Structure 1
Amino acid sequence: MIECIVQNARDAKNAEKLGVTRLELVSAIELGGLTPTYGNFKSVIDSVQIPVQVMIRPHDYGFIYNQDDKEVMKKDIFLLHEMEHHRIVVGALNENKTIDTNFLDDLFKEFPKLNVTFHRAFDEVEDQTEAYHTLTAYRENIKRILTSGGADNCVGGADALMELVQLQHKLQGPNILPGSGLNVNNIQTLHNTIQADEYHFGSGVRRNFSFEECIDKDKVEEIKNILG
């Protein structure tokens, strides 16, 4: 499973054509990815057949959200819900850097069909093992966790990612989705260590490693061959 970041319908259609198997739709990638506009996510969802996980993140200053933030997030999710689209990317923490389970309880009570990627807020928790156990309780909705193993990127977090994948298999919990810093030059070595079932790519599959450039067909093909 190869997931790629996209920001618009043209990007999404190109990614699908090149054999990408799932998309993460964001806006403002320079800020780490924020919620796209209604017009943007509708055009993307209508233009491709592969799964699209839509980022729900109202701002870029941390993952601790107040009640106003949470209401904004739920309004954005409601718009997707009205379109019968239930795939989102979301994450929230408490002040003590544990998982905000109150928000998750509220979210899944209101939107029980959600298919969630818990995003890299996971990389800011105090204890990833404890956080993984917490998220496993929500496995009916939280299908995967996007993480670099608590490091700046997957190269630095490779050993932690390997341990998380082992924990995933032990608990039969959400899939570990390694992301950050992955590219055609390091995926073979990292996969040999991590042994995840799916990987998340950003600029690493683009020409000149830039989001201003399109996804590179040769890079996607080589990654697909490496991952089998």
Structure 2
Amino acid sequence: MKKNQLEIACFNYESALIAQANGADRIELCENMKLGGTTPNSILVVKVRESIEIKMHVIIRPRGGDFVYSDEELTEMKQDIKQYKKLGVDGFVFGILNEDGSVNKKKNQELVNLAHPLSCTFHRAFDVVKNVEQSLEDVINCGFKTILTSGQQINVEEGIFNLEKIQKLANYRIEIMPGGGLRSSNIKLLQDKLEPTFYHSSAITDNTETANPEEIKEIRNFL
């Protein structure tokens, strides 16, 4: 039977070490927390990969703001995927939309194909898509393995019923990973509603950009 697992969003080297030491199953490496996470620089990727043994996914997001990318930005994203594949990462996290709020199937497909055989997560761009049902099908058809979402709300607590609905619609064809304001204080609420899955948290409990080891342990205790 599938079990719950934990991914920690890490915005620096220290968080990656803390995540591994306190029981995370995987990290999502990014930079610029205030922008919601952007592509980390290659020096950080190398340093983290050499220091941790758990799985490591890397966000491919050239800037903050919306998820509609120009051809130049798409080229940059492709270069980052090619480079980081060679550095031994385990997967990538990205998501590209059209201006009308639909999933850009062509551009996402290009990146998924480029990342193959590594797994890809469609990130919280999913929280601003216009049509959840159609977008879910598009993301599945592009070959993504996971969707990171807060249930189209400001955080997972407010999005809990949407998360339940999306997971039912997905029907085991893709993993629905709750993330966005997920903490030890609300994970039990989600577990009561959802089938076993990956949970995503930065585990940051103060004004830093670094994960709190005690918070990771607390979340882990619920899993």
Q: Secondary structure of the equivalent of 2:78?
A: helix
Of all paired residues, the percent bearing the same amino acid is: 30
Higher relative contact order (CA closer than 8 Å, sequence separation 6+): 2
Question: Any unmatched runs of 5+ in structure 1?
Answer: none
| Number of aligned residue pairs | 219
Q: Return closer, same or farther for 1:214/1:106 CA change in 2, 3 Å cut-off.
A: closer
Aligned 1:85-96 pairs, distance under 5 A: 85-96=89-100
Work out whether residues 86 and 113 of structure 1, in 8 Å CA contact, stay in contact via their aligned partners in 2: no
Q: Which residue number in structure 1 is paired with residue 158 of structure 2?
A: 156
Amino acid paired to 1:181: G
Any conservation in 2 of the 1:159–1:194 contact (CA below 8 Å)?
A: no
Deviations 1:143-186 (A, max 9, x none): 110001111111111001001111222xx322000001111111
| Cα RMSD (Å) | 1.6
Taking a change above 3 Å as real, the CA distance of residues 110 and 193 of structure 1, as seen in their structure-2 partners, is closer
- Structure 1 position 45, deviation (Å): 1.2
Q: Structure 1 residues 196 and 159, CA, compared in 2 at 3 Å: closer, same or farther?
A: farther
Aligned residue identity for 1:78: K
Structure 1 match to 2:120: 116
Partner secondary structure for residue 137 of structure 1: helix
Judge conservation of contact 1:177–1:196 (CA < 8 Å) in 2.
Answer: no
Indicate which of 204, 208, 212 corresponds to 1:211. Answer: 208
| 8 Å Cα contact 1:178/1:196 also seen in 2 | no
For the structure 1 residues 163 and 40, does the alpha-carbon distance in structure 2 shift closer, same or farther, using more than 3 Å as the test?
Answer: same
The 3 A distance-change label for structure 1 pair 198 and 116 is same
Q: Is the 8 A contact 1:86 1:114 kept in 2?
A: yes
Paired with 1:51 and 1:5, the residues of 2 have a C-alpha distance of 12
Which residue number in structure 2 is paired with residue 225 of structure 1? 221
Give 1:57's match in structure 2, choosing from 32, 36, 61. Answer: 61
Counterparts of 2:114 and 2:200, CA distance in 1: 28
Instruction: Decide whether the 8 Å contact of 1:148 with 1:180 is kept in 2.
Output: yes
**TM-fit CA distance, 1:207:** 4.1
Change (3 A) 1:216 1:13: closer
User: What TM-score does the superposition give when structure 2 sets the normalisation length?
Assistant: 0.92
Cα deviation code 1:4-44 (max 9, x no counterpart): 11123322112101101110100001110000001011111
- Which amino acid letter does the alignment assign opposite residue 215 of structure 1? N
Pairwise CA distance, 1:86: 4.8
Give the match for residue 78 of structure 2.
74
User: C-alpha distance in 1, partners of 2:125/2:184?
Assistant: 25
Contact 1:206 1:216 in 2 (8 A): no
Gaps of 5+ in 2: none
Q: Is the 8 A contact 1:25 1:54 kept in 2?
A: yes
